[in-house]
Structure formats: structure tokens, C-alpha cells
Amino acid sequence: MSEQNLVTTETQGHRNLLVLLFAGFVLSGIATTIIGPMLPIFIRRWSLDDGQAGLFSSIQFLAALGGTLASSAIATWRGYKPPLVLGYALMGGGLACLNANTHAVALLATAVFGLGYGLITPGTNLFVAELGGAKSASLLNQLNFAWGAGAMACSALIALALKHNALSILLGGTAIFGGILVVGLSIASFSVEKHREDPSTPGAAPPAIAISVTIAMAAMFFIYVAMENGIGFWSAEYAKRVANGITSMTTLAPMFFYAGLTFGRGAAPLALKSLRERKIVLGALSLAAAATTLLIASRSLPVATLAVFLLGLGCASVYPIFIAWLSRWYGASAKKIGGILFALASLGGSAGSESIGVVSKFSGSLRVGLLVPLACAAILIFLTLLLRRQTTA
């Protein structure tokens, strides 16, 4: 086979693999956010109090954290394929069993699919960044657009399934989807890893990265996910308090946040053609800070809803660009370092919503609690400016 034919075959293989990875991230978006719309069902079914209901989130977070750490170790040892295949198998199996008749089985199912998406998140992001090369930020925004589409559709799918008494069918469908991904990824070629690990490949050895840059990146991963998850978690409750009661619009408040997130990630590749990544990050974080200020100041539901959408828009491109920087700056070492950073991101996801709740409890106002994501945006702007020299490339 000629060299040209080999290149064509490899390119087609990468395209097929990207289709699988993008489809998988749609499922991951559903799995990451599914506990929210399922929680009222669990509370009613087993007469749970708030503490017992919150156990679902804690177990999901701890399992995802374990999966993230395991993903890094497995990827360093055997490459990206094994954690991805195992992750989607666990994700599909866990989702299939989520609508269980017993509380303990539902908790176990939550841990299983939490472990699954913890396994697939670092490897998918880092592998797509490797495939993207110089255009990794653009490709990662498209990947996380797929995640946002799954997250945005999750509540609507659950509502539709409940209306037609088809929740088990929906969850069974996600399991089949996971099974298809397992089969597809098992036979797919991850050949790009060999090129990245070959020391003779030009540019394979990245320049030495100062420890201060690594610490800053770790803080950025932790703080960003704390900000995003905090807003996603509390937006419905905040909208309810602004409206002085639960309405269909207050329930859908998180959907507006994920809609902004998804729309922004879809538009980011166009912006990246003409603007530097650093400028996009600074602009996006400034929008997030302004939108959080508007949310805190809002006194009507339409204004609060607009602020939540703008917040999602501001958050949209930040995390994918951070991941692109991780892959570009650390090269093959990103597999090891990425495990730590993605684990910190998981911790941030838990800390963000918890911090807003604690501040709100002690201040007696959720508006004051929302100063937490505002502070997160300000710190991220400062850290991005601090990395000025590193991000000029």
C-alpha cells in the first residue's frame, strides 16, 4: 500500500473514532446530569429526607473521582482504549439499573455509572486534544458541545419518559447505546498514541514546564469546574426563589445554563479562527463574571433566566481551552498530569455547589452564596493573566 493510501486510511480511521468519541460524550452528558431530574422520583419512592437524597450526589462524585484517577493510571500503562471501553460498559450498565425498586441498588447503579464517566472523561479529552494538534482547542470545544447537548437533553428526555411511563425503556436505550460504544471502541484503532509516544517524532518532547505553571493549571481546573457545577446545581433553586414558587420556567433554569454552554461551544471554533485562545478565555470569563453579577442583582424571573443563559455562554469555551493547553504544554506527560488535574476538577465540582450552599446558609441569602462563582471567575481571570507568557503561543 502506498504512503498516500496509508495516510488516507489513517485519516478515515481517526474520523470514525471521533464519531464514536463524540457520540460517547453525548451519553456522558446525560449520565453526568441525570441524578438531578431523577431525584424527585427517588425521594417520593423511598420517602428520603434531604440528607439521604444528597447521598446520590456524593456517591456519584466519589465514584467519578475514583474513575478519573484510575483512568490516568490505566492510560499511562496501556493507552486510552482500555479505560474508555471499560468506562462505557460501566456507564451503560449503571444507567440501565438506575430505576431500581430498592434504594441500595439505585445507589450502587449511581456509583457504577459515576465510575464509568470518571474513566472516560480524561482519556477522551486528552486523546481528542492529541488528534487536534494545533487546532485542539477548536476540536475540544466541539467535543464538549456534544457533552452539552446530552446534558441539555437529559431533563427533557426524563420528563418525556415519565409522561409516557417509559423510564425503564429510556434507561435501557442508554444501556444499548453504551454497548454499541463498547463494541465500536474495542475494534477502533488508536494509532495516534504510537506517534505521540515515539521519541523520534519531531516535536514530541515538550519544553520543561515550571512548577508554578502546573500549580496554576491545577487551580484553574479545580476553580473552573467549581464555578460551572455550582451554577448548574443552584440555578433552579435560585430561579424558584426569584419567582416565589416552582413553575415550569424555574424547573428549566438549568436547561438555559446548559443551552448557553452548548451554544458557546458550538460557536467557539469560529472565534478561534480569528482570536487567540487567551483572549477568548479572558473575554469568556469576563462575560461569566458580568452574568453572575446580573444574576445576583436580578429581581424577576426573565432577567434571572437571561443571566443563567449568559453564564453558560461565558463558561462555554474556557474548560476545553484549558484542556488544550494541558495537552499542548505537557505532551505525552499529559496522561499522568492530566489524571491529577481531572481529579481536582471532580473535587471542584463537589466543592463549588457545597460552598455556595454553606455561604448561603450562614448569610441567610442565596444571593450572597452566588458571590462564590463570582469570586471563581475573578480568580480565573487573574490566573490566566498570570500565565501571560505561557499562553501567547
CA 132 to chain centre: 19
Give CA–CA dist 83/86, Å, rounded.
5
Domains of the chain: 1-205 (1.20.1250.20), 208-393 (1.20.1250.20)
| 392: pLDDT strictly greater than 60 | no
Q: Are 120 and 83 in contact (CB under 8 A)?
A: yes
- pTM: predicted TM-score of the whole model, two decimal places: 0.79
- Which of these ranges, 162-171, 202-211, 235-244, 382-391, has the smallest mean pLDDT? 202-211
pLDDT for 132 equals 79
pLDDT for 391 equals 58
User: What tens digit of pLDDT does each residue of 128-180 get?
Assistant: 888 877 788 889 999 999 998 998 888 788 888 888 899 999 999 999 999 99
User: What tens digit of pLDDT does each residue of 7-48 get?
Assistant: 344 556 678 889 999 999 999 999 988 887 787 788 788 987
What is the torsion angle, in degrees rounded to the nearest 10, for the CA atoms of residue 252, residue 253, residue 256 and residue 262? -90
| 238: pLDDT strictly greater than 80 | yes
- Mean pLDDT within 357-363: 85
For residue 378, CA distances in Å to 40, 224, 306, 374, 375 come to 35, 11, 21, 6, 5
For residue 263, CA distances in Å to 13, 14, 148, 298, 311 come to 28, 25, 9, 23, 12
pLDDT for 192 equals 54
pLDDT for 11 equals 58
- Write the DSSP string, 202-235: TT-SPPP--HHHHHHHHHHHHHHHHHHHHHHHHH
> Three-class SS of residue 332?
helix
Residues ≥6 apart with Cβ < 8 Å to 191: 10, 13
**More confident: 78 or 286:** 286
Say which DSSP state 97 is in.
T
User: What tens digit of pLDDT does each residue of 165-218 get?
Assistant: 999 999 999 999 999 999 999 998 776 554 444 444 444 445 566 788 899 999
Question: For the chain, what is the mean pLDDT?
Answer: 85
pLDDT for 200 equals 41
Site of grid cell 433553586? 237
> Three-class SS of residue 276?
coil
pLDDT for 41 equals 81
pLDDT for 377 equals 97
**More confident: 274 or 246:** 274
Please report which residue ranges of the chain form alpha helices under DSSP H. Answer: 3-33, 35-46, 50-78, 81-96, 103-132, 136-163, 167-187, 192-197, 211-243, 248-251, 253-272, 277-297, 301-315, 318-330, 334-363, 366-369, 371-386
